[in-house]
Structure 1
Amino acid sequence: MIVNGIQNIGSLNLDKIKEVNQTLDSGQVNFSELLADALNSVNADQNYSTEIGNAFLLGEIDSVHDVSIAGMKADLSLNLAVEVTNKLLAAYSEIMRLQL
């Protein structure tokens, strides 16, 4: 079975991926910083969605597509953050149930 590479990855932030890979390779992973960066990204998506929605309501922009894309991106990032939080809490409670 032959697996071909991804042809169109224009929407990915390659610099951020390279930075994460270098951090993982160097062994300097700080979980709290990764978590804080992810939550800041979710917050930025939410703020951008609100700003672009307000700009659309005021008539400053005409593209409904940009507004809906920003809203969906904010919704997806928030849902992902909630799911990750739920998984972390479930893992923590499972660890606390372990008997040593």
Structure 2
Amino acid sequence: MSIQSTGVLEQIKFQANQIAAAGNSLSIRDTKNSEPVSFSGLLINSLNNINQLQTSAKSQSQNYLAGAPGIGLNDVMVSMQKSSIALNLGVQVRNKLVNAYQEIMNMSV
């Protein structure tokens, strides 16, 4: 995990915590459980999943470099690509949210 990706992940987590702290009252209903799901909760869960993928990829690559049995290079590369794609998706979602926020703030009332 590079310093740049760690910084981006920390920014996204900070923004998600700000949304959660603001007491976001917007919620959607989950069709399976019929319980309200908050936007901030979904965002925080997504960030936790991204973090978990990055942590898993990092530990798997360290185990491979240490020579642990049962870990192939292909497994390491797949987990690294999964974490990279997840981080890129998180960054793109953050960018879209920031753009939408800026567009709403620029609207005249």
Task: Return the alpha-carbon distance in structure 2 between the equivalents of residues 27 and 58 of structure 1.
Answer: 45
- Of structures 1 and 2, the one with the larger relative CO (CA 8 A, separation 6+) is 2
3-state DSSP of counterpart to 1:90 = helix
User: 1:54 Cα shift?
Assistant: 0.2
Question: In the alignment, which residue of structure 2 is the partner of 1:60?
Answer: 68
Q: Letter of the 2:94 partner, please give it.
A: T
Q: Write 1 or 2 for the structure with the bigger share of strand.
A: 2
Task: Return the alpha-carbon distance in structure 2 between the equivalents of residues 27 and 96 of structure 1.
Answer: 31
Please list every run of 5 or more consecutive structure 2 residues that lacks an aligned counterpart in the other structure. Answer: 1-29
3-state DSSP of counterpart to 1:29 = strand
3-state DSSP of counterpart to 1:22 = coil
Which residue, out of 24, 32, 39, partners 1:31?
A: 39
Task: Return the alpha-carbon distance in structure 2 between the equivalents of residues 29 and 57 of structure 1.
Answer: 41
Pair 1:71 & 2:91 matched: no
Please list every run of 5 or more consecutive structure 1 residues that lacks an aligned counterpart in the other structure. Answer: 1-19
Which moves more between the two structures, 62-71 or 73-82?
A: 62-71
Deviations 1:59-85 (A, max 9, x none): 004411100000000000000000000
Q: Letter of the 2:32 partner, please give it.
A: Q
Q: Which has the greater radius of gyration?
A: 1
Deviations 1:18-59 (A, max 9, x none): xx5425xx3612001000000000000000000000000000
Which stretches of structure 1, 4 residues or more, deviate above 4 A after TM superposition?
none
Pair 1:94 & 2:98 matched: no
Percent identity over paired residues: 35
